[in-house]
Amino acid sequence: MLTENKDGYNFPKRGDEYWKFTKPDQFVEISKQACQTQFQNNINAQSPAQATALYNLDGMGKIEFVLQPNELLFDQSDRRITSTLELGLKNLYQGKSSWIDDIAGVIENRIQKPIPRPFAKYCIDHSQIGLCLWAKGEIVDPVILSYGEGFAGGEHLIHNIIRVSSGAKLTLVEIGNPWSGVNMVNEVHVEPNGEFNHIRIAVGNTEAQSLIHQYAKVDEAASLKSFSLFGNSPLTRNEHIIELPGNDANAHVSGVFVGSGNVSQDDTVFIRHEGLNGTSRQVFRKVLNNGATGVFQGKIHVNPGSQKTDGYQKSQALLLDEKSQFLVKPELEIYADDVSCSHGSTCGSIDNNSLYYLRSRGISKDEAISMLSLGFLKEVLDEIESEVIVESLGELLTDMVNNAI
Amino acid sequence: MLKIENLHAILEEEDKPILKGVNLKVKPGEVHAIMGPNGSGKSTLSYIISGRDGYEVPEGSITYNDEDILELEPEERAAMGVFLAFQYPVEIPGVGNMTFLRTAFNAIKKARGEEEISASDFLKLVRTKAKELNISPDLLKRPVNYGFSGGEKKRNEILQMAVLEPSLCVLDETDSGLDIDAMKQVSEGVNALRSPHRAIIVITHYQRLLNHIQPDIVHVMVDGSIVQSGGAQLALDIENNGYSNILSNLN
């Protein structure tokens, strides 16, 4: 049940559908606090994002932006930006550019039924901060969006609006979680034959509490691939809400979490197939230690008539101690009769035979556990389109696993 | 080098005695074969030498180079030079074979207080060894044993042995699941590792492996203890007559 509060937003309460495993209370506080304080931020314009040091992309071509609470830093002389990308800050653009008005609040609103998402609505209505990004052609180099130190220590509402034109291609890498709390929404429209590859690396701040939504509309023969890597923060909820109205549309969402101690990370995914021949994949793996909690809630929804849909969902956790837990709610909701959909969820400890095998070759117990955990997680990296990015994540993932053991 | 005295072992999970007083002495340079019917405890003996969990040793001892190793962890034994080639090498998806080999190699070097080797030098070393053993470089790029054929898995075991250069190699039914050609290749790999400083224990059901790896001493294990030892001829006798003569003598 949802309760009407004085602001008119029916924020969920503990125990509501899809809020049984993660408590929403903290996100209500973060959202309201952020709304009150977002105009009072001090700007620290030159400081780089915290996570860039953790994530080494040196040596590869890239287009870089640093988003601060009311400023966007980038190299204005970069010709790649003027030729293929249109961009700006949400608070400056909104109401002045029709393409933004076609997306902002619209993509999210399309899918408020059957499950309303008041946090996302609240963010969209109140956020003054965010990047508007329009890919108009094929952009070869990844676009790196780092969240700057200006977000550190505060609560924020961030609303990014992303458009990928017909036939265009965009790889967006979002880096950092410097805030103490965030309610963030990405609204994405991938137009026919467009390709949007998205990577989120929310690592580096062990105090962050993050509620992140990605709403996407994926049109005919278009493709969305989104991978997220979450580090050891006390509370994270990562929502993907994707609709595939076009025929032959494709959505892959995947993620990795490494958690140790009193932390909770929740991936909640809702994919709605509305066209013919759609494909979707959900692949999530978590390594949990010292009482950490991992949550996965995933649904594949197939509309009546969305024949030949191919949906796949798999969530897996490796529990390194007896106190850690993995809470899952895998769902299929299918109203078409000629589809192929599957879901699976597994939860287990380190395989003793593998552990013994590695140790018998001279590898210490801790290092062997680390290798096996890393091996378990690395398979998810196959979901990422760019090999360069996969390679660049290896060291970061190794550090994360070693820190958790 | 290796001295096993009156070794008893119980499988903890089932509270079942498996080894009931094994005695065995192995000197550097020797090749021993241990044969015996199914369930006689041959594999258990190899596990206990290498330090697998799940067994209780109520009586007896294993010393290696005059050090009691029963209380040591598997990795400590590996650092001392003990190596078990598994009957069923474990598939480890997600862990690259090369990464695994280098980690193992450097872990052993580190435990011995020796200098670790650089990635490029290690690559050269492994490529040379792989070529000698006729192992495809592709196997090095794939995850450990993952999707390997039976023969590839066993050759990968021998490659690890060649790279880690242990002083005691225990081969647990290395011939199982191999066709004649693969068995020959694996045997050649083992023979290449024979040295006056290295001992090899070959556990097998069949004499045919011993045509390729000539043992100095053959032991017969029955119901948890070694009941007969002899020269290479003993293996031929078993091949011709089975274990029935030995079993009836025991009775």
Interface probe for A, chosen from B75, B91, B108 (most Cβ of A below 10 Å), is B75
Of B58, B36, B56, the residue nearest B47 (C-alpha): B56
* ipTM, two decimals: 0.95
Of B226, B185, B220, B189, the residue nearest B204 (C-alpha): B220
Position B76 pLDDT exceeds 80: yes
Of A106, A101, A99, A110, the residue nearest A134 (C-alpha): A99
The domains of chain A are located at 25-350
Mean pLDDT of A158-185: 96
Of A2, A50, A378, the residue nearest A202 (C-alpha): A50
Domains along chain B?
Answer: 2-181+194-243 (3.40.50.300)
What pLDDT shows up at residue A3? Answer: 44
Q: d(Cα A90, Cα A126) in Å, to the nearest integer?
A: 11
Nearest to A361 among B73, B143, B164 (CB): B164
Nearest to B108 among A351, A362, A371 (CB): A362
Mean pLDDT of B98-124: 93
Q: d(Cα B53, Cα A331) in Å, to the nearest integer?
A: 39
Judged by a CB distance cut-off of 8 A, whether residue A20 touches chain B is no
Mean pLDDT of A389-400: 90
Enter the DSSP assignment of A170.
E
Q: d(Cα A31, Cα B13) in Å, to the nearest integer?
A: 53
> CA B100, B108, B73 angle in degrees (round to 5)?
95
Judged by a CB distance cut-off of 8 A, whether residue A360 touches chain B is yes
Residue B65: strand, helix, or coil: coil
Of all residues in chain B, the percent with pLDDT exceeding 70 is: 100
Judged by a CB distance cut-off of 8 A, whether residue B100 touches chain A is yes
Phi, psi values for residue A376, rounded to 5°: -60, -45
Of A57, A52, A51, the residue nearest A394 (C-alpha): A57
Q: Higher confidence at residue A88 or residue A397?
A: A397
- Tokens representing A284 are 């999530």
Mean pLDDT of A195-199: 97
Q: d(Cα A191, Cα A210) in Å, to the nearest integer?
A: 29
What pLDDT shows up at residue A7? Answer: 62
Position B92 pLDDT exceeds 60: yes
pLDDT digits (tens, 9 = 90+) for B201-246: 999 988 888 989 999 999 999 999 999 999 988 988 888 888 887 8
Give the residue on A whose Cα is nearest the Cα of B92: A354
What pLDDT shows up at residue A46? Answer: 35
Mean pLDDT of A137-154: 90
Q: d(Cα A100, Cα A325) in Å, to the nearest integer?
A: 41
Return the beta strands (E) in A245-339 as ranges: 250-260, 264-273, 279-289, 293-302, 310-319, 325-334
Mean pLDDT of A81-95: 77
Judged by a CB distance cut-off of 8 A, whether residue B78 touches chain A is yes
Which of chain B's residues have a Cβ under 8 Å away from the Cβ of A393?
none
Position A39 pLDDT exceeds 70: no
Position A41 pLDDT exceeds 70: no
Position A298 pLDDT exceeds 70: yes
Position A43 pLDDT exceeds 50: no
Q: d(Cα A24, Cα A85) in Å, to the nearest integer?
A: 36
Q: How confident is the model at residue A72 (pLDDT cuts 50, 70, 90)?
A: confident
Position B178 pLDDT exceeds 90: no
A258 forms bridges with which residues in the sheet? Answer: A287
Give the residue on B whose Cα is nearest the Cα of A352: B53
DSSP letter string over A55-83? Answer: S--TTS--EEEEEETTEEEE-TT-HHHHH
What pLDDT shows up at residue B17? Answer: 94
Mean pLDDT of A276-291: 98
Judged by a CB distance cut-off of 8 A, whether residue B250 touches chain A is no
> CA B103, B106, B110 angle in degrees (round to 5)?
135
- Give yes or no for a contact between A209 and A180, defined as CB atoms under 8 angstroms apart: yes
Residue B149 belongs to what H/E stretch?
none
Only one residue has tokens 């220590």, namely A153
Judged by a CB distance cut-off of 8 A, whether residue B143 touches chain A is yes
How many angstroms separate the CA of residue B99 from the nearest CA in chain A?
9
Return the beta strands (E) in A69-221 as ranges: 71-74, 85-89, 131-135, 143-147, 155-164, 169-175, 181-190, 195-202, 209-218
Which of chain B's residues have a Cβ under 8 Å away from the Cβ of A383?
none
Chains A and B form CB pairs within 8 A to the count of 76
What pLDDT shows up at residue A57? Answer: 56
Judged by a CB distance cut-off of 8 A, whether residue B164 touches chain A is yes
In sequence order, the 6+-apart residues with CB closer than 8 A to the CB of B64 are B1, B2, B3, B77, B80, B81, B82, B168
